[in-house]
Each structure stands twice: as structure tokens, then as C-alpha cells.
Amino acid sequence: MSADRTLADLLAIMARLRDPENGCPWDLEQTFRTILRYTLEEAYEVAEAIDHDDMDALREELGDLLFQVVFHARLAEERGQFDFDDVVVTIRDKMIRRHPHVFTDSGPATEAEIRDNWERIKAAERAHKPAPGAGLLDGIARALPALVRAEKLQKRASGVGFDWDQIDGVFDKVTEELDEYRASLAESVPASERTHEVGDLLFACVNLARHMGVDAEQALRAANHRFEQRFAHIEAGLRQQGRRPDRTERAEMERLWQEAKTNQDRADDP
């Protein structure tokens, strides 16, 4: 089946849903802002399908996410601002521009050169469309997950040399922030200040992950998954004993936790 044909069908369905005379009342009420939550939800559902290596779910969730793109483009088209073809042309041109090692005669490039070129080209793009009073960190979406945005802020600042030269400095910063939080617990300080100190500690941990070449968001997602699996093991073990977590001593739950951890470690071994 032709990709052009199936995409044209999807665009036609979207136009029908938004038809003022015969469209869907719910779809007709929507705006960029009202469907934003669904766009974000679909993106996270794509991530969940990938985490579970569920290709059937991934196919479906990618379709749902594509529909969100089509929906936003239709709203813009109705306003006379841009349409879906404009979206496609924009990303097509951007990908060609950001991959000179593929689409020009510049020749092959190393992974480091590709990464450096990508950031350099992005910086040049930003320089061509500055907003009044725009700063280096402007344009990094505030709606991003906090860990992702922290990493992007740090990378942007690192691009102009505002970064630690050695990873030891990052370790020291994490220790410093942890000590400051411990001090805040020992003192009578407002809850807002403790929140501030935790934020600084998390930001420093993201910086450490970045210097170690680890994606902080993916690392935490994986840690969440491990916690869920281990706690499920605790619950299953207690059910076999006819017991519940809220009526079980911490020591027994810790024993089952360590058992789950050992089982996971064995499963991870090649």
C-alpha cells in the first residue's frame, strides 16, 4: 500500500472530523492547548511500548502520535498559518542541513564530528532567528521532563565552555549539594529551602550522568522499572504467606527485596 495514499487518507479523515457542518463535535471544540495533554500522553505511551519491547503496541502508539501531529497541523491550516506539507518540508530540510556528511560531498565523519557538527549547525540556526533579548538557553522547552530539560540546559551551556573540565569536579559538586541538604535537615529551615537544595542535588546528579555519557531520564526510567519489579516480588512472596505489606515487618520485606535483586542480577548475567 502506498505511503502517500495512506497518509492522504489520514489527512482526509482529520479534515472530515473538523468539518464545520458534518464533523465531530468534540474534535471541533479542540484547540492547540486542549489537545496538548494528549500529545504528551501519546509520546509517553510510545516510550512505554519501547520499554516493554512491545512492537504491536509501538505500531499503534506511533499511529496515535502521528495523529496528534496531523491534528495540530490541521488547526494551523485552518488559521492560515501552515499545513501538514509545511511541517514535512521543514523537517526534511532540517535533516538534510544537519547531516552534511550524508547529503553533501564532505565525506564520512566520526561520531564525535557528527555530534559537534549537529550542535554547531543548531547554534547557527538559532542565530538566524533570535528573539528580542534572547539568551543562549532560550528555546529549550519548559514542558520537557525536568531531567531531560536539565541535561539540555547543561549541554547548551557546555557548548560555550561553561562546564567542568574534569569529572572529579562534578563528583565534588554532587557531594557539596548532598552536604548542603544534610545541613538543611539539621537546621530549622523552611520547606521551600529544602526543596531548593533537593533541586540543586538532582541537577548536579544529571550533570554527573551527562559527564559519564548516561541519559539521566532513561536511567531513572530503568530504575523505576527495577523498583516496580522488586516490589512486585515482595508482594507476591507475602501473598504466598497469606500476608500483606502493610502488616509485615520491614526486615521481612527487605529479605524479599534482596531476593528479587539477586534474581534480577542473575537474569541480567550473559
Using 50, 70 and 90 to split pLDDT, how confident is the model at 106?
confident
Q: Collapsing DSSP states into helix, strand and coil, what is residue 21?
A: coil
Residue-level pLDDT at 76: 97
Q: Is residue 23 part of a domain?
A: yes
Q: Are residues 207 and 242 in the same domain?
A: no
Amino acid at 198: V
160 within some domain: yes
What domain count does the chain have? 3
Q: Do 9 and 91 fall into the same domain?
A: yes
One domain for residues 170 and 236 = no
Its pTM surpasses 0.75: no
Question: In which band, very low, low, confident or very high, does the pLDDT at 238 lie, cut at 50, 70 and 90?
Answer: very high
Torsion over CA: 132, 138, 140, 146 (sign)? negative
C-alpha triplet 93, 96, 99: angle, nearest 5°: 145
Residue 113 covered by a domain: no
Instruction: Identify whether residues 209 and 226 lie together within a single domain.
Output: no
Residue 93: is its pLDDT beyond 70? yes
Statement to judge: residues 206 and 223 lie in one domain: no
CATH number of the domain bearing residue 166: 1.10.287.1080
**Residue 131 confidence (pLDDT):** 61
Residue 210 lies in a domain: yes
Cα atoms found within 13 Å of the Cα of residue 140, Cβ hemisphere only:
18
Please answer whether residues 83 and 15 qualify as being in contact, where contact means their C-beta atoms are separated by less than 8 angstroms. no
Domain end among 75, 98, 121: 98
Show the CA angle centred on residue 194, arms to residues 188 and 196, nearest 5°: 140
| Helix 55-78 × helix 84-98 angle, to 10° | 120
Interatomic CA distance for residues 243 and 246, integer angstroms: 9
